[in-house]
Structure 1
Amino acid sequence: MVLSETELIDIRRHLHTIPELSLEEFKTHDYLKQVISKFSQVNMEIKELPELPTALLVLIKGSNPKRNIGYRCDMDALPVNETNGLKYASQTKGVMHACGHDIHMTVALGILSYYAEHQPKDNLIFFFQPAEESQSGGRKAYDLGAFSKRFQVDEFYGLHDNAQLKTGVIGCRNGTLFAGTTEVNVDIKGKSGHAAYPQLANDSIVIAANFIEQVQTIISRNIDPTRCGVITFGKIEAGVIRNVIAGKVHLEGTIRGLTQSMIEYLRLRISEIAEGLEKSFNCSIKINFNQGGYYPVENDPVLTKRFIEYMQQNKAVDFEETAPAMTGEDFGYLLNKIPGTMFWLGVESPGALHSADFLPHEEAIEQGVKAMVGFLNYRMNLEEK
């Protein structure tokens, strides 16, 4: 059966009631399998990964395949307590699909249901991915060999909903769509002491203040103003009482850049500043960088040009070329290994992504399904030059 708009909305609402955090998407996994089991199984093959048990891959065999086209959607939710007051609100306290992954999964199911009934020309591989919000589920799947043998993917596509775009709008751009991100943890060790005798101590808070101030000049004074980068420290832990000089400080922050080379440069400069402060303050500064799979989402130039041209020429699609965003997405890791394109689907929510009142317009689901089915049919019938 090909899912109707009413069925798609019902599926999305059920998924919305059962949000689960990264690597805990067991109910979601089981529900997806339940829905997929109702589709025609004639050309279908399902693959699961024992080492990543909530992941799900579905192959639809093509009639005359020349390539394997992948479509990815993410499954996990966020630790956010929903405030929308919906009849189908999250039933898990403190967990919500505040990033719209319920929309992502539903669109994927809609596309899958179409091709289960209408055999595609090429092989299609649908990847229902756990752990996008944290734990780098895309990288885990890739490193486990998920995309090998019959499930090898030659080109990958995927969407992310956008609260600022009008409902159903397809947004995309060539080059970087999303920034890459890296977690930064810093531990500064000085020497504690009495507040009245600073000469006998080594004030780690003063060192931390110098470190943060100098690191903030990297963006303003070390990189080209026409290029983008962000360094933010959002957490500081230090001290026990007002009249004791702190001997230790722990900082937690994030780096964001539109290219991998930018991220690597920011890491280098942060490390160089730390080395200088260790000498000038006679202290210890240890830095841990953790990027995981959150590489910049850099769209393939050839595939994305084709995608954009199709969407622009399709009168049934409202297309908009979008600016790069500094948000992160672990689809960037897969696009670093396999060429592909990520695009936006407008859902016109009054609340922003990751907010407790994120409320996407469900009309976007069917519009996203139709746009992507149309593109895939176009892509599969396109002769390579």
Structure 2
Amino acid sequence: MPVIDEIQNFSDDLIKIFQDFHQHPELGMEEVRTSKKVNEFLNGVGIKTYTGIGKMGVVGVLEGNKPGKTIGLRADMDALPIYEKTNLPYSSKNPGVMHACGHDAHTTMLLGAARYLAENKNFSGKAIFIFQPAEEGLGGAKAMLADKLFEKFPCDEIYGLHNWPTGELGKVGIKPGVAMAGADFFDITIKAFGSHAARPEGSKDPIIIASSLISQLQTIVSRNVPPTQTIVLSITKIHSGSAYNVIPSDCSLSGTMRYFDKEIAKLVRKRMREIIDGVKKSYNVEIELDNREIFDVLINDQQLSEVMHEVASEIVGKENAFFRTDLVTGSEDFSDMLKVVPGAYCNIAHGGSLPLHNDGFILDDGILPIGASIYARLVEKRG
């Protein structure tokens, strides 16, 4: 069974919706226009909606033609703080904000599934359409859960998906069990003592201290973590000083840790604190660590991974749907929802683009009816 005919027939409408979202990207918890458009679309096809869930989230509820399971479908809506350089005719009109991760497409796919299901209603049970704000490290899933998402809209199963700009269009991969990394974000502030650059002996140079600290932090993975474990510790930002002839008084560092084993993550956090305390004492300065556990490990339900694989096989062909064996060190806050409701999450490939989060990222809109069909068939199959 290929892409659903009805969805393919209105795919031009989906492209227009996608391009509109792409032109008007909004950052996490600022998705005012996006939420409004989603709400209007759902109401327009006869779906009852609830807004303001987790501040900017929108939930649509559609009853099937007879009793059955309640199936949740989730899509993210937020964009990234990136200046777009694609030169597309529908490039971002919001300077410094870009849909560089394809959430505009995910939202469009779920709207397409909602339209099809509302027009046909050939399913049992109930479909819950969850449009989530602020996936990009801003806690959108947690915000919706704190707003009692699943108490208000109980689901028996939940499914999500993400575009993947590598490989052939329409290849669908799913990793049963542990699939995507958990992630911490951290900020380190060194409060030292500045001086004239010509008289460094009068300073406690925060740049030298930062250099030492970075070197020591980078030994954690290689010397404290078993080599059989997959973990990443990256310093991604460093800032200090503003003049050629001044040794600054402070320095700030930021970075991320990605992990698959919670006990190993605890070990790394412990070693970070110990190293920072040691450097602090060694140089007699103040060093502050602000570590935030942003994403949990994403774990797909084994049985529902097989269900999602079966549905994907029907849509794209058995030769194009596969079980992944590799772990993804990227992170996804759909993991928070999967801790509450069993479900699964897959990736849909499209080729010819730069990576996600790149200012030249271009999404192949041929993916839209594929994702919409997978969403819709999951409801028809599992309701």
TM-score over 0.5 for the pair: yes
Partner of 1:254: 256
Which of 348, 357, 375 is matched with 1:372 structurally? 375
Partner of 2:341: 338
Q: How many residues align?
A: 374
Check 1:315–1:132 CA distance in 2 against 1; reply closer, same or farther (3 A cut): closer
* In structure 2, C-alpha distance between the alignment counterparts of 1:212 and 1:159, rounded to whole Å: 36
Shift of 1:195: 5.4
Q: Which has the higher contact order (CA 8 A, sep 6+)?
A: 2
Check 1:108–1:256 CA distance in 2 against 1; reply closer, same or farther (3 A cut): same
* In structure 2, C-alpha distance between the alignment counterparts of 1:127 and 1:304, rounded to whole Å: 19
Partner of 1:8: 14
Question: What is the correspondence of 1:1-385 to structure 2 with a 5 Å cutoff?
Answer: 3=7, 4-39=10-45, 41=46, 44-49=47-52, 52=55, 54-119=56-121, 120-149=123-152, 151-193=153-195, 201-239=203-241, 241=243, 244-292=246-294, 294-312=295-313, 316=317, 318-322=320-324, 323-380=326-383
Check 1:354–1:194 CA distance in 2 against 1; reply closer, same or farther (3 A cut): closer
Shift of 1:271: 0.8
Check 1:236–1:160 CA distance in 2 against 1; reply closer, same or farther (3 A cut): same
* In structure 2, C-alpha distance between the alignment counterparts of 1:238 and 1:102, rounded to whole Å: 36
Give the alignment's Cα RMSD to 1 decimal: 2.4
* In structure 2, C-alpha distance between the alignment counterparts of 1:159 and 1:72, rounded to whole Å: 8
Of all paired residues, the percent bearing the same amino acid is 32
Shift of 1:344: 0.4
* In structure 1, C-alpha distance between the alignment counterparts of 2:198 and 2:19, rounded to whole Å: 61
Shift of 1:279: 2.9
Shift of 1:74: 0.7
* In structure 2, C-alpha distance between the alignment counterparts of 1:215 and 1:130, rounded to whole Å: 33
* In structure 1, C-alpha distance between the alignment counterparts of 2:248 and 2:145, rounded to whole Å: 44
Partner of 2:3: none
Check 1:314–1:345 CA distance in 2 against 1; reply closer, same or farther (3 A cut): closer
Partner of 1:383: none
C-alpha contact 1:168 1:365 (8 A) present in aligned 2: no
Check 1:378–1:348 CA distance in 2 against 1; reply closer, same or farther (3 A cut): same
Larger deviation: 207-216 or 320-329? 320-329
Check 1:214–1:378 CA distance in 2 against 1; reply closer, same or farther (3 A cut): same
* In structure 1, C-alpha distance between the alignment counterparts of 2:75 and 2:84, rounded to whole Å: 22
Shift of 1:110: 1.4
Structure 1 unaligned runs (5+)?
381-385
SS class of match (1:67)? strand
TM-score, structure 1 length as denominator? 0.89
SS class of match (1:79)? coil
* In structure 1, C-alpha distance between the alignment counterparts of 2:151 and 2:274, rounded to whole Å: 41
* In structure 1, C-alpha distance between the alignment counterparts of 2:23 and 2:195, rounded to whole Å: 53
SS class of match (2:82)? coil
Check 1:284–1:166 CA distance in 2 against 1; reply closer, same or farther (3 A cut): same
Structure 2 unaligned runs (5+)?
1-5
SS class of match (1:78)? coil
Larger deviation: 232-241 or 91-100? 232-241
